[in-house]
Amino acid sequence: MKLQIKKISRENLFKLIDSLCSEFEVIAPVKTGGDIFFNHIKNSSDITLDYINAVESPKRFFFPQIELMFKMDLNELKTLVDKEERKTRKKLIFGIRTCDLKAINGVDRFFSGERTDSYYQKLRQNTVVVNFLCNECAPECFCTAIPGETLYCDGYDLRLSGLEDGYLIEAETEAGKEILKKNRLLFSETEKRDFKLREENVKILEEKIKRNNPFAKTIENLRKGKVSSKAWENIALSCQDCGGCCYVCPVCTCYNTIEDFENELIKRYRYWDSCLFSGFSRMVHAYNPIPTPGERLKYRFMHRLKYFEERYSSAGCTGCGRCDVVCLGDIGTGAVLMKIKNKEPKCSRSL
């Protein structure tokens, strides 16, 4: 499918967002008490374009933190399914950074294949994804420090790139082209120098992120299993067992289930879990195949940086750095890679 590229001014971008709000249920970056979150918006005045990335990824819109799976009526022993049709309005997520786009691609692949996760598919289908390329990076960002990763990623419907005097807007899919067509009066034609400028911006940013996070070689060593058990145990000493890294991770989708009574009605929910919890793999008679904090940390890192990518041909860690921001023990992904690289796998806090 041929790419379609136009240019849009900042003023007209807000008009485009207003137009999208009339057609779609729009989810976009919103400033709340100084922090940026993805949330539903009514019109373009709710949105902020002045952000590096949102505190949380848009994961929860497809994979809620707690989700009702089904109800079971114990008197009749029948599964009662949610008869309420979800709104037929299509969803549009605006302003996804490339790291989160990579995550959506990966989770899409994870939850489909020979078997599909119907709850995820139900929330994910009919969603238009608008990617917004980064112009700057936060201290925690390390996306392009992962070997082979760039600031570009396919899988979007529309992509925005910031220029000095507006934005490039590209449509990759039919859904994206349809939006360009419907709102054609808002766009102008592109010029060669727009692309040159974008190319330059992207190159500069990619190099800056690589310079800030010089651990490409460390990731290769980690993938080859060259990090000792002792190093993992030492690093894991500062793990607080909070699970925050997994909750904010845009690619983490492990869940647990729980059942709740309401008279004769049983409700089964699923909720986010973390492989760093000791109960994650614990079985009867307290037998635990992944028994120590160090082994659990290794289990998580090997999955995120090696096995996920091998199995689903999509990045298991997108380098968004949210785990580094949220970690109380200073052992987010970036921090751990630096500790391994500098051979200082000592816990930074005395516990």
User: Do the Cβ atoms of 58 and 93 come closer than 8 Å?
Assistant: yes
Greatest Cα pair distance in the chain: 70
- Using CB under 8 A as the binding rule, whether residue 172 contacts other proteins is answered as no
> CA 125 to CA 111: how far, in whole Å?
12
CA distance 175 to 127: 9
Q: Considering beta carbons, is residue 72 or 197 the nearer one to other proteins?
A: 72
Closest approach, Cβ 92 to other proteins, in A, equals: 19
* Contact positions with other proteins (CB under 8 A) in 112-141: 114-119, 121-122
* Separation CA 16–CA 12 (nearest Å): 6
* 307 near other proteins (CB under 8 A): yes
Q: Considering CB under 8 A, how many residues would be counted as binding other proteins?
A: 47
Distance CA(242)–CA(308), nearest Å, equals 23
* Separation between Cα atoms, residue 299 and residue 219, nearest integer Å: 15
Name the one range near other proteins by CB under 8 A: 33-41, 183-191, 269-277, 331-339. Answer: 269-277
User: Applying CB under 8 A, which part among 24-32, 92-100, 254-262, 342-350 lies near other proteins?
Assistant: 254-262
Distances (CA, A) of 270 to 65, 67, 68, 239, 260: 8, 5, 7, 25, 11
12 lies in the site for other proteins, by CB under 8 A: no
Of 85-104, which residues contact other proteins (CB under 8 A)?
Answer: 85
Q: Does 255 contact other proteins by CB under 8 A?
A: yes
Q: Is residue 292 at the binding interface for other proteins, with CB under 8 A as the rule?
A: no
CA distances for 342 relative to 145, 214, 319, 346, angstroms: 16, 11, 19, 11
Q: Which of 213, 273, 294, 318 binds other proteins (CB under 8 A)?
A: 273
Interacting residue ranges for other proteins, rule: CB under 8 A = 69-70, 72, 74, 77, 79, 81-83, 85, 110-111, 114-119, 121-122, 253-259, 261, 266, 268, 270, 273, 275, 280-285, 287, 289, 302-303, 306-307, 310-311
